[in-house]
Chains A and B, each alone.
Chain A
Amino acid sequence: MQKVAEIAQKRAIQLLNQGVVNRVIGWKKGEFGYDETPAVFTTAAGIEDFRYDVFSAPNLSKYLIDESKKEGKILAFLKPCDTYSFNQLIKEHRVNRDNVYIIGIECGGMADINTIRNRGAAGVTDVADNGQTVIAHTLYGDVTFDKNEVLLEKCQACKGKKHVIFDELIVVNPQDDEPKNRFAGVEAIENMTPEERFAFWREQLSKCIRCNACRNVCPACSCLQCVFDNPRSGVASKASPDTFEEQLYHIIRAFHVAGRCTDCGECSRVCPQDIPLHLLNRKFIKDMNAFYGEYKAGEDSETRPPLVNFSKDDAEPSVISDKGGDK
């Protein structure tokens, strides 16, 4: 990974100096080695702070909605799953493709600091990535983890290592493109009784603090004015005295992004209460695959998505009811 970061850094400086781009969006070092922040670099000297390692999880695609509308071209480093988000944003006419120079950057999976903490490493002051293992340096000594054990949920369910859109690639160690099974978690919930399922979501969603981090980070949530921010909608993006409405917020959001969600997993990554929000989105993806055939939002930037397309072979309501819905 360190080699990839070095190449990326050099290439960014080159492209800036050549005038191909006038800005670079990447990740910047934080306080503890695990808290990288997305940042726009405008000078070659500034790129000194550029970081790319197992904590470069934030998906940069959504920032490009605004950044691609500014003057000049911006260099964006996109991981494989981030390229799906970018493609989807092209499809929705939300980004200006011509203003973005995309370098698809190799990704070996991103680590989750919360998992590292939950597995007993308190007081993490720095983290070293040794390829197969991740060593957390803490105030109370070093703790070593198998990297696969501490991957973010979105990386455990990796869609594959292929970049679906790019101008050039930085891939030093080509990796197995075998996508992992993304739907085990959804299946576990499908196998619950309706009562168990209801109780599961009630408990999970009861933790919600309505911070809207899931919505604000979501590349599919790109409305200029969200319905929850519209004072005339009768609902708000804040806590409500009605817990039912409160909990429905997430269901409504899942409906709104159905067919457009690329499963980038940012919603679950950013949730301060660890609500497994990706499961809602993945349920829709799984059902759409079953009803309309395999479809990956963001895999390309042209084809019509199943929910806005019509074909005579479309699933009939009876098909849905066969799956357990009411007739």
Chain B
Amino acid sequence: MLKIKKSNLDKLYAAISERQILYVPCNVAGKPNFAVWGEGADVDLVSLKTVKSAKEVFFPQCEDIASFRKEGKNISVKSEHKESGDFVVFGVRACDCKSFDILDSVFLADPVDTFYKTKREHGTVITLACSKPEETCFCSAFGIDNAEPEGDIATYFAGEYLYWSPKTEKGLNLTKTLNSLLQTATDKDNDALEKEQKKIKEITGRLPLYVLDLSYWEADDLLEKFNSEKWKALSESCIGCGACTFVCPTCQCYDVRDFDKGHGVQRYRCWDSCMYKDFTMMAHGTPRPTQMQRFRQRFMHKLVYHPSNHEGVFSCVGCGRCVEKCPMHINIVKVIKTFGGDDK
């Protein structure tokens, strides 16, 4: 276990940035989101959740795929795929870190998404334990430990220090380059850290969503769930915006679109939302013409389709962003409870 004084974190950011790009939660116009660190950045490691999740670093909201240029009768096509440089993402919470596994199971399965893969290979993930979990958190329902996050390096705030624990080879390699800034933790430090983790666990145990019964969703009765009458009432106030989708760390759907540049076309992909009317639009129209159907798709995907395709793993990490951000306060927790929890 290593440590660095909180007051020295700026030096740490600068040292990492010297060699590679560093993404860290920063406040821009009052809201924390992952951003490239630079001198004077308003780093925010206190806010528990960035608005957009850390997935954006590996799977940006908008990403160029190819460009087409027309000259006379010729059309030239250029791939926009680039190998990623090494980078670090710091301040990733345990839930977001777990979401990378879920994204991996989709993007790294055959056919491999090379845009995503290169970033995963070159990115070093530094996680941060959650000193102050909030009421919207329910990562524990998915077996995630917010006091002991995974990642290449796990870090923890306790007292005056940030504690630093490399967990993988990537993590060890990065740590080597920062040796002059990091000190070895003493027994006293380890005690302080243990106390902090105990405190986190105590609070987590008191979270209102700590116990979330998922057993209903483990049963294999897809059609019964699909045809349930409950979707109608659950979705009736959904306004069909994409807030839940775009703040979600596990949502992975994207649209491929062409941007007309006048003298050519830029083909890009951008996050898509199953809440949108034109989601998976085909020549004959949309397969889900009502908002109830679109709403159902989102939760069936997270709680039924994804687990049945990926050894029972739910496509939710309990970060609670949707709980916080839905304009009408509809969310996955209400879906889970309505079907198989309190109101069973």
Which chain A residues have a beta carbon within 8 Å of chain B's beta carbons? 30-32, 35-40, 58, 62-63, 122-125, 138-140, 203-204, 206-207, 209-213, 215-217, 229, 231, 234, 236-242, 266, 269-270, 272-275
CB distance from A70 to the nearest CB of B (A): 12
Q: How far is the CA of A34 from the CA of B264 in the complex (A)?
A: 50
| Cβ–Cβ contact A273 & B31, under 8 A | yes
Inter-chain contacts of A234 with B (CB < 8 A):
260
Inter-chain contacts of A266 with B (CB < 8 A):
327
Interface flag for B152 (CB, 8 Å): no
Inter-chain contacts of B247 with A (CB < 8 A):
209, 272
Q: How far is the CA of A239 from the CA of B61 in the complex (A)?
A: 7
Known: A229-B278, A239-B61, A240-B259. A37 touches B271 (CB 8 A): no
Q: How far is the CA of A113 from the CA of B203 in the complex (A)?
A: 21
Inter-chain contacts of A207 with B (CB < 8 A):
28-29, 31, 33, 51
Known: A139-B134, A242-B259. A274 touches B30 (CB 8 A): yes
The 10 A-B pairs of least Cβ separation, nearest first, read: A270-B327, A35-B329, A213-B241, A239-B270, A38-B237, A211-B243, A216-B239, A211-B242, A239-B62, A216-B241
Inter-chain contacts of A35 with B (CB < 8 A):
323, 329
Q: Name 12 A/B residue pairs within 8 A (Cβ), A-sorted.
A: A31-B334, A35-B323, A207-B33, A213-B327, A216-B240, A217-B241, A238-B270, A238-B273, A238-B276, A270-B243, A272-B325, A273-B31
CB distance from B173 to the nearest CB of A (A): 33
Q: Number of residue pairs across A and B with beta carbons under 8 Å?
A: 136
Beta-carbon nearest neighbor of B64 in chain A:
A241
| Cβ–Cβ contact A211 & B245, under 8 A | yes
| Cβ–Cβ contact B51 & A123, under 8 A | no
| Cβ–Cβ contact B257 & A238, under 8 A | yes
Inter-chain contacts of B203 with A (CB < 8 A):
123, 139
Interface flag for B222 (CB, 8 Å): no
Known: A210-B242, A212-B241. A229 touches B271 (CB 8 A): no
Q: How far is the CA of A270 from the CA of B29 in the complex (A)?
A: 17
| Cβ–Cβ contact A123 & B259, under 8 A | no
CB distance from B246 to the nearest CB of A (A): 5
| Cβ–Cβ contact B330 & A211, under 8 A | no
Other A-B contacts than A211-B242, A217-B327, A269-B327, 11 sampled, CB-CB below 8 A, are A31-B209, A39-B236, A40-B236, A58-B237, A123-B135, A139-B134, A139-B135, A211-B273, A231-B281, A238-B255, A272-B243
